[in-house]
Amino acid sequence: MKPAPFEYWRATSIDEAVQGLAASAGTAKIIAGGQSLGPMLNLRLARPSVLIDIAGVTELKRVQDVGGKLFIGAGTTHAAIEDGVLPASAAGLMQAVARRIAYRAVRNRGTIGGSLAHADPAADWILALTALDAAVSVRGPNGKRSVPVQSLMRAPFTTVLAEDELIVGIETDKLSSTAVWSHQKFSRKVGKFADAAAVVVLDDTSGFCRIVLGTPDAPPVVMRSLAEALLSDSKRRLPLDAIYSAVQTAGTAADSFDIQLQTTVLARAIEKLVLQ
C-alpha cells in the first residue's frame, strides 16, 4: 500500500496552486489534509502525476464575517470548526457537524474544502452545506466563480469542477437569531461514514427551510416538498407517511431497510428541530 510515483509541489499561494493545476493538464491532484486522498493514493486508486500541497497556503485558512455572509477558507480544518473558529449563527450547526466527523485525529488534518472536493456522498459537509444552501468559491485560470454546494457533486466522487479549478472557500448566508437546525446521523460505529444522515435548517425570519437527506451512494437530496410542508405546518410536524413517500420518491433506497432508515433519520431530524 504505497502510492504510485508522483511529483510533489508545495504551493504557497492560491495562484500558484491554480497555475500548477493548469500546467498539469488534468493529471494533478490537490492535497490539503490528505485524510481521504492519502488512503486512495496508498491503495493506488488515485494516481496523479503531480500532488500539489496547499496545506501551507495561509490565505485558504481565512474565516471572514462579511455582512450577512460568512466566508470559510477551504483550508479550514474540521477541528478548527469544532473548536469554534466560526462566529455564531450557522456556526452552531457547523460546529455540531464538525464534532461528529470521523475521529479527532482525522479532524485535525482534514479540511472542509478537501471534503467537498473529494465528493464522498456520505460525508458530512456536502450534506450540511447543502442544507445551508451555501456556495463554494472556485478559482481557475480564468478567474473566480461560485458554485452552489447543492449542484457541486455530479455523482459520487465526482464534482462539476474543471480539472484546473480549486475550491478556495465556502460562502454561506448567516442565519437569523431565530433559526433552528438539527442534524441526525446513523452510522454503525462512531467515526464511520453515515449509512443515512439528515440536516434540517429552518429560519422563520427569512422563511428559509431546507431538509436534506444524505446517503452513501448518491449526492445529498434536497427534500423540497417536505420543507414546504414543514414550513406551512404551524406545529412544525410532518406525518410519517409523507416522509416515507418522499424517501421513496428520492430513489436513494435500495431496499426496505434503507427506506426505513432514511425515513427514521429524517423524521428524527424534524422531530428534534421542534423540540429545540
Partner 1 sequence: MDDAIDAAGQGIGSSVLRKEDDRHMRGRGRFIPDFKMDGLSEVAFVRSPLAHALIVSIAKPAGAAGWVFIRDDLAGVKPIRSVMRAPGFRASDHHPLAHGKVRFVGEPIAMCVAPSRALAEDLAESVDVHLEELTAVVDAKAVNGGPYVHDEWGAHTFLETSSDNGIEEIAKAAAVTVKREFHMSRQVVNSMEGKAILAYWDDLKSQLVVYTSTQVPHMIRTGIAEHLGLDQGAVRVVAPDVGGGFGYKCVLQAEELCIAWLAMTFRKPFRWTEDRREHLTSGANCREHFYSVTAYADVRGKLLGIDAEITVDAGAYSVWPFTACLEATMAAGHFPGPYAFKGYRSKSWSVATNKPAILPYRGVARTGICFAMELTIDAVARAVGREPWEVRRENLVPEDAMPYVNPTGKVYDSGDYRRSLDIAVKEIDLPAVRRKQAAMADGGHLIGVGFANYIEMTAHGTKLFAAVGLPFVPGAEPATLRFTPDGGLEIRVGVQSHGQGMETSLAQIAHEVLGIDLGKIAVVHGDTELTPFSTGTYASRSITMAGGAVAEGCRILAERMRPIAAHLLQCGADSVVLRAGTFYGPSGNISVPEVARTWYMRPEQLSGELSVCGLEVLGLYRPKVDTGQYSYGTHAAVVSIDRLTGALRILDYVIVEDCGRRVNPLIVAGQTYGGAAQGIGTALLEEMQFDTNGQPLASTLADYLMPGAAEMPNIRLHHIETLSPNTAYGIKGVGEGGAIPPPAAIFNAVNDAFAGTGVEVNTTPLTPRRLYGAIERWELGRRGAGA
The answer to whether 31 and 11 have CB atoms below 8 angstroms apart is no
Phi, psi (rounded to 5 degrees) for 130:
-65, -40
186 binds partner 1 (CB under 8 A): yes
Which range binds partner 1 by CB under 8 A, 7-15, 104-112, 227-235, 259-267?
Answer: 259-267
Calculate ∠ Cα 203-221-256, nearest 5°.
Answer: 120
Cell, residue 122: 456520505
Q: Which residue in 238, 249, 246 sits closest to 263, CA to CA?
A: 246
How many CB atoms within 10 Å of residue 42?
Answer: 13
Give 158 or 257: the residue with its C-beta nearer to partner 1. Answer: 257
Which range binds partner 1 by CB under 8 A, 10-18, 20-28, 200-208, 256-264?
Answer: 256-264
Q: Which of residues 13-72 bind partner 1 (CB under 8 A)?
A: 39, 43-44
Which range binds partner 1 by CB under 8 A, 19-27, 68-76, 91-99, 182-190?
Answer: 182-190
H or E element in which residue 23 lies: helix 14-23
165 binds partner 1 (CB under 8 A): no
* Shortest Å, Cβ 73 to partner 1: 27
* Shortest Å, Cβ 224 to partner 1: 24
Using CA atoms, how far apart are residues 213 and 81, in angstroms rounded to an integer?
22
275 binds partner 1 (CB under 8 A): no
Strand extents, DSSP E, 91-231: 135-140, 143-148, 153-155, 158-159, 166-173, 180-186, 196-203, 208-214, 221-222
Q: Which amino acid is at 250?
A: A
H or E element in which residue 259 lies: helix 256-275
User: How many residues lie near partner 1 (CB under 8 A)?
Assistant: 22
Phi, psi (rounded to 5 degrees) for 142:
-100, 15
105 binds partner 1 (CB under 8 A): no
Residues 8, 177, 188, 232: which binds partner 1 (CB under 8 A)?
188
Which range binds partner 1 by CB under 8 A, 50-58, 162-170, 185-193, 222-230?
Answer: 185-193
Phi, psi (rounded to 5 degrees) for 95:
-65, -40
**Stretch 210-249: interaction string toward partner 1, x if CB under 8 A:** ----------------------------------------
Which range binds partner 1 by CB under 8 A, 104-112, 164-172, 190-198, 243-251?
Answer: 190-198
157 binds partner 1 (CB under 8 A): no
The residue count for the chain: 276
The answer to whether 247 and 208 have CB atoms below 8 angstroms apart is no
Residues near partner 1 (CB under 8 A): 1-5, 39, 43-44, 186, 188-193, 195, 256-257, 260-261, 264-265
